[in-house]
Structure 1
Amino acid sequence: MDRAVDAVNLGAAGGDLSLWGLFMQADIVVKLVMLGLLGASVWVWAVVFEKWTTLRKVNRDADGFEDRFWSGGSLDELFDREGTNPNNPMASVFAAAMGEWRRSVRVAGADISHTSVRERIDRAINVTVQREMDRMERWMIFLASVGATAPFIGLFGTVWGIMHSFSAIAAMHNTNLAVVAPGIAEALFATAIGLVAAIPAVLAYNQISNSLARFSGRLDNFGSEFSAILSRQSEERAA
């Protein structure tokens, strides 16, 4: 109560209504809320930058790999050159499928045209796609969580600050606007910071999720096409 009364007295005396002043005059609980939201906002932008950078890189690498894959060269040579140490998700899908196909070919007396070979190749592709997407989707839950909870956390800070401001005002028996306004402004500042953290998080989550879904579909399509190619080669070998 004493801290709230002091804050109201400071407002009545013409307290600092700058952003820094509002923060410094706020109750300790409101300060913790503000600091937490500011930290979340900084981390949101760090995640957004990392995701956008990663998506640009993997799409650029996928374009280059597809050009090499469809150039008409030998798949065995491509695997020896890039499949042993893939440096992008599409190359990893290629390496997983090609590695499974090679293992099937090496099995003595194996019927590589058998359905089980196609199933193992498809399983290797699906597992690899899922693993690569799980890696790329890291921290997406954080964006969703900040977007959903930051406004309510800021609102908690606002309610707490207003509660203490009104308690102090009641103790002073003074409802003059010059007394009320600074305390209310400090409390509302917490909600503003919550929105600053939440709005970019929601917009970025929607945009990045859409880009990740498109890239996942691209990997799935490549895996299906490559699986069909290996299946045809298995039939040709068995013929």
Structure 2
Amino acid sequence: MDHFTFAGYWERGDALSHAIAWLLLAMSLTSWFFIFAKGVMAWRVRNSARVVQRFWDAPTLQDGVAVVAAGDPERIYLALAEQGIAPAVQGGSQLSATSLGTSVSRSEQMTRLLRDAIHRSTIRLESGLTLLASIASTAPFVGLLGTVWGIYHALAAVSSSGTVEIDKVAGPVGEALIMTGVGLMVAIPAVLAYNGYNRVNRLTLSELDAFAHDLHAYLTRH
């Protein structure tokens, strides 16, 4: 059992084996960086969800924006509030300007502004998730490549020696299997984090959609 170590794999490995190990290390560090970064962001976003109710409790639109700005450090809900009420706060100047956007009704203009704000918030919420998904899906295969390459070298060493001895095969093969385990250790946290943050994003986007609907109804009525 003392032979089944990563040090033994590293000692017997060639340049490709070392490159695979370094790649898995880089993928692991990158994955954990985004897991912690997105975790902090998700916690702050969920804590700031209450600003929507505070916005509607404010006496004026300007006060509502100020309340959202103070309670939304990630600017997820603030982007929608600012873009949605900007024309009303500025006396409708943005809507009355001569442009392609003014060729449609006020309701459609407000829909476009709110949709653009939601799109920007969505991009911010989903940043980094594609990388997490890529690491989660490719890390096991990278580890498997290291295992296959290690087994290939073990079998090549046995064939060149002309004699088959179990210790000469079991050690290198056991060490090569370590890379598959490493690949899974990199992938599993990334998968769990990706699924968790996707759920948080779905909840947030649902709240943003409801907020945009209420803003649209209010601003087009006033």
The alignment's TM-score, normalised by the length of structure 1, stands at: 0.80
Change (3 A) 1:225 1:70: same
Residue in 2 that maps onto 1:93: 80
* Letter aligned with residue 93 of structure 1: L
Residue in 1 that maps onto 2:172: 183
Relative contact order, higher structure (CA 8 A, sep 6+): 1
Relative to structure 2, which stretch is displaced further, 86-95 or 18-27? 18-27
Q: Deviations along 1:61-108, whole A, 9 cap, x unmatched? A: 231x2242122411233346766xx74211210110100334463489
Q: Secondary structure at the match of 1:70?
A: helix
Contact 2:80-2:117 within 8 A present in 1 as well? yes
Is structure 2 residue 79 aligned with structure 1 residue 78? no
Contact 1:154-1:190 within 8 A present in 2 as well? yes
**For 1:223, which of 196, 209, 212 is the aligned residue?**
212
Measured after TM superposition, the shift of residue 51 of structure 1 is: 0.8
1:1-239 aligned at under 5 Å gives the runs 16-63=3-50, 65-79=51-65, 87=73, 88-103=75-90, 105-106=92-93, 116-233=105-222
Q: Deviations along 1:193-236, whole A, 9 cap, x unmatched? A: 11111111112111111211111111111111111111222xxx
* Letter aligned with residue 17 of structure 1: F
Q: How many residues align?
A: 215
* Letter aligned with residue 124 of structure 2: R
Structure 2 unaligned runs (5+)? Answer: 98-102
Give the root-mean-square deviation of aligned CA atoms.
Answer: 2.7
Q: Secondary structure at the match of 2:197?
A: helix
How far apart are the structure 2 equivalents of 1:21 and 1:78? Answer: 63
Contact 1:104-1:117 within 8 A present in 2 as well? no
How far apart are the structure 1 equivalents of 2:188 and 2:95? Answer: 60
Measured after TM superposition, the shift of residue 38 of structure 1 is: 1.7
Q: Deviations along 1:13-34, whole A, 9 cap, x unmatched? A: x975333343333333112111
Change (3 A) 1:28 1:75: same
The alignment's TM-score, normalised by the length of structure 2, stands at: 0.86
